[in-house]
């Protein structure tokens, strides 16, 4: 039997008017049928090198700035699971349920063709990918792809995910040397490693947990910025405000409440030192509060004492005041 061969496809040589119309037809063979359009005033620039063995596709994809939208999926079209390794450029991925995230270089994405909505190449992008019908992957991988779990760090230090990323790179480098059977075996091995990585309890929350840690640190570093809020935090991390709220809802709090609690804790520390000439209002305004009366109410509700009593007690050298009334639950401040 003759082995399959590596093929190429690109928009190079197509006119600006013909390239977008040709993209769904070309991409449906090497990928899935995305409708592509440039996101800036420039020609559509897409190229790919790939190999298909039966229903398995392995390839490399280059693109300039563009937007890809998923057409309505035909009821006769098989759902696919894709593995994407982002080598360079940023890729904004959006899903039908409203979730979205930005994939950075060195991150891996597991995605499902039925839940993906669109993507945007923010700057020139280079990826390696592997595509297989959902029916041919494990239940665990299929569920992870459908959950749209976000971009996953797959660089050095990420354990089995780093191994999987290296496997994908090796498979692509050997694309012309592997027989069809060998290519299928190598790709199945990659899926097995990914399945193990994502089924490990410690790996599943890695992406969201790392993002939450980064967001919390960003809040801590910018507590004194009066403009700090959901929109500025989301923009700084390349996610939507909705995604940010979902991130915090899983912890039992909200973004706004977390910011307020951290600011209240900072104010308590500042007031309990009592060494400066700052007033209660000065401290409140320095840490992002713009209404002294509102600040005093929140402070007493959180700590069971007024901010002025904390400041006065600190200046006379008294013992630390009780932070909480026993009937009030302590706010999450750490």
pLDDT number for residue 247: 84
Residue 2, domain member (yes or no): no
Q: Domain containing 232 — which CATH number? A: 1.10.10.60
> 126 - beta bridge partners?
62, 88
Residues 156 and 276 in one domain: no
Residue 85, token pair as written in the block: 């390794």
Backbone φ and ψ of 270, nearest 5°? -65, -45
Residue 326, domain member (yes or no): no
Residues 105 and 182 in one domain: yes
pLDDT category of residue 24 using cuts at 50, 70 and 90: very low
Residues 188 and 214 in one domain: no
Residues 144 and 93 in one domain: yes
Residues 130 and 177 in one domain: yes
pLDDT number for residue 88: 94
| Number of structural domains found in the chain | 2
**Which of the two residues, 13 and 155, has the higher pLDDT score?**
155
Of 152, 186, 204, the one marking the end of a domain is 204
Residues 65 and 141 in one domain: yes
Identify the weakest region by mean pLDDT among 218-222, 312-316, 318-322.
318-322
Per-residue pLDDT, averaged over 276-287, amounts to 86
Query: What CA–CA distance (Å, rounded) separates 176 from 165?
Result: 19
Residues 270 and 299 in one domain: yes
Chain mean pLDDT for the chain = 81
Q: Domain containing 132 — which CATH number? A: 2.60.120.10
Of 150, 183, 204, the one marking the end of a domain is 204
Residue 323, domain member (yes or no): no
pLDDT category of residue 52 using cuts at 50, 70 and 90: very high
Residues 55 and 196 in one domain: yes
* Strand order across the beta sheet in which 7-10 lies: 7-10, 46-53, 56-63, 125-133, 80-88, 107-112, 152-153
Is the predicted pLDDT of residue 246 greater than 90, yes or no?
no
pLDDT number for residue 324: 43
Residues 73 and 218 in one domain: no
Residues 184 and 241 in one domain: no
Is the predicted pLDDT of residue 326 greater than 50, yes or no?
no
Residue 178 CB neighbour total at 10 angstroms: 19
pLDDT category of residue 175 using cuts at 50, 70 and 90: very high
pLDDT category of residue 239 using cuts at 50, 70 and 90: confident
> 91 - beta bridge partners?
103, 121
Q: What percent of the chain has pLDDT over 70?
A: 81
Of 159, 178, 204, the one marking the end of a domain is 204
The 10s digit of each residue's pLDDT in 99-157 is 888 888 999 999 988 888 888 898 899 999 999 988 888 888 888 888 777 788 888 88
Is the predicted pLDDT of residue 28 greater than 60, yes or no?
no
Is the predicted pLDDT of residue 82 greater than 80, yes or no?
yes
Range of the domain at 268: 208-315
- DSSP-based three-state secondary structure for 61: strand
Picking from 85, 91, 143, the residue whose alpha carbon sits closest to that of residue 115 is 143
Per-residue pLDDT, averaged over 83-101, amounts to 89
């Amino acid at each position: 039997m003759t082995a399959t061969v590596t093929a190429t496809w690109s928009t190079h040589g197509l006119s600006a008017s013909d390239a977008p119309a040709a993209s769904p037809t070309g991409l449906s063979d090497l990928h899935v049928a995305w409708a592509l359009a440039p996101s800036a005033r420039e020609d559509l620039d897409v190229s790919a090198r790939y190999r298909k063995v039966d229903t398995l596709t392995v390839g490399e994809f280059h693109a300039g700035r563009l937007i890809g939208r998923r057409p309505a999926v035909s009821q006769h079209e098989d759902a696919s699971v894709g593995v994407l390794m982002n080598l360079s450029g940023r890729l904004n991925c959006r899903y039908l349920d409203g979730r979205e995230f930005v994939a950075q270089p060195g991150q891996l994405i597991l995605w499902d063709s039925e839940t993906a909505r669109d993507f945007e190449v923010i700057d020139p992008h280079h990826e390696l990918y592997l595509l297989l019908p959902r029916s041919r992957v494990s239940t665990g991988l299929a569920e992870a792809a459908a959950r749209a779990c976000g971009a996953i760090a797959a660089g050095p230090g990420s354990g089995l995910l780093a191994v999987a990323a290296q496997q994908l790179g090796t498979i692509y480098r050997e694309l012309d040397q592997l027989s069809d059977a060998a290519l299928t075996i190598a790709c199945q091995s990659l899926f097995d490693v990914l399945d193990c990585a994502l089924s490990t309890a410690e790996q599943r929350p890695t992406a969201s947990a790392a993002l939450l840690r980064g967001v919390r640190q960003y809040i801590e570093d910018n507590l004194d910025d009066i403009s700090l809020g959901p929109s500025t935090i989301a923009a700084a991390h390349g996610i939507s405000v909705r995604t940010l709220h979902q991130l915090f809802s899983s912890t039992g709090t909200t973004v706004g409440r977390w910011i307020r609690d951290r600011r209240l804790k900072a104010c308590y520390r500042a007031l309990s030192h009592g060494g400066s000439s700052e007033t209660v209002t000065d401290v409140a305004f320095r840490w992002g509060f713009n209404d002294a009366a509102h600040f005093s109410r929140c402070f007493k509700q959180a700590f069971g004492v007024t901010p002025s009593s904390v400041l006065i007690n600190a200046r006379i050298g008294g013992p630390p005041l009780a932070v909480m009334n026993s009937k009030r639950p302590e706010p999450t401040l750490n």
